[in-house]
Amino acid sequence: MKGFKVRLLPTEEQEKNLWLNASAARFSWNWGLGYQMERFKNGEPFLSAYDLRKHLLSLKSSDENFYWLNEVSSKAIAFAILDLGTAYKRFFALQKKGKKFSDNKRKYAARNGKSLTPYDMIGHPKFKKKGLVTPSFGQPNDMLYFTDGCAVLLKIGRVKVQTNLVFPQGRTSGKYYNPRVSYVNGKWILSFSMGVENQDYTLNDYSVGVDLGIKTLATVSCNGEKLVFPNINKTSKVKSIKKQLKMVQRKFSKSKKGSANKRKVYDRIRALYYKLSNIRKDHTHKTTRKVVDLLPSRIVIEDLNVSGMMKNRHLSKAISEQTFYEFRRQLEYKCSARGIELVIADRFFPSSKRCSCCGAILKTLTLKDRVFNCPSCGLSLDRDFNAALNLESYTGK
């Protein structure tokens, strides 16, 4: 199973229908959440997603306030209620684990003389405010298909897609799972999953060590050869976007609260953050792809204590920008697809302080030291490459 995202290029009329479906999905979620909370307040039992959906669909024909929902796909409404049901299941599971309210909520309530309600509980579903959530709606698995460069969506029709990927053509040619349409920074995106055939790979009889860092995203040792993947955040492209972001944020702080201009500036900030996120994610994808394309029998990476590292106020921002967790997540599923063994080295394995030649430990090594100088055998080596070599030969001891 593999996930895909393609951009939709709707006509003006189709875009109106997309917005209508997204609005109906948000309305259905908010209505369902309010209805469940009202029942709880009155001491009535919690409704299942099926019963809640059935009640809402009946209101479409009996209550004039709900007549407009007949203009959209009933599936968009149904999926919104199912999403709410899933959110409530997660909420109930969290409540069984113990803590009901966060410390911040308790402090806020005490400071303002307010009492906490079930809505304030950890994980409780929240109302979706227009303009503050990503507009989206679901589509049924068996109704989505591609034909002649278009995606066929229920109650919307054939919508042009912008993609280099080739999907099975025709209604019965492919099976798509959990299709969803979202509006992200001025673009309509169709996301879904589909089954793909597993490719056979011939792996090489050697290991690869991957050392993640701040100066460079990753330093790799492949059969003793050094490969370096740069830190994308140090490029002029990212620095330029960050500079724009500072200017726009300054403008946002000076604009009048509640004005249309403030809203426009806010949307610009979101767009810049989205662009930064995409650049980083794309760089991580390309890096992890190059690592797994070496086709080693195993890849060894460190089990980094990222939360502990983030406590260093001088490095926390740089660490968060490197998205180490995303790097590991991508490496995990890409290794799994190729049959490569991914080894997570022990968190306390001294990959940086250990000599890759003689095994001596240099306890005095600090973050400022970029070169590893072994006091025992005299080895002088880039500290990141030395760590990658140690990870390459890692045996778990």
Radius of gyration of the chain (CA): 26
pTM, 2 dp: 0.79
Q: Which long-range contacts (CB under 8 A, 24 or more apart) does 57-64 make?
A: none
Tens digits of residue pLDDT in 314-336: 888 888 888 899 999 999 999 99
Q: What pLDDT sits at residue 13?
A: 95
Residue 173 has pLDDT above 80, yes or no: no
331, β-bridge pairs = none
In angstroms, the CA 259 to CA 32 distance is 31
Q: What pLDDT sits at residue 196?
A: 79
Residue type, 39: R
Residue 35 has pLDDT above 70, yes or no: yes
Contact of 75 with 140, CB cutoff 8 Å? yes
7, β-bridge pairs = 162, 189
Tens digits of residue pLDDT in 337-354: 899 999 999 988 999 999
**pLDDT, averaged across the chain:** 91
In angstroms, the CA 62 to CA 44 distance is 23
Q: What pLDDT sits at residue 192?
A: 94
What percentage of the chain exceeds 70 in pLDDT?
100
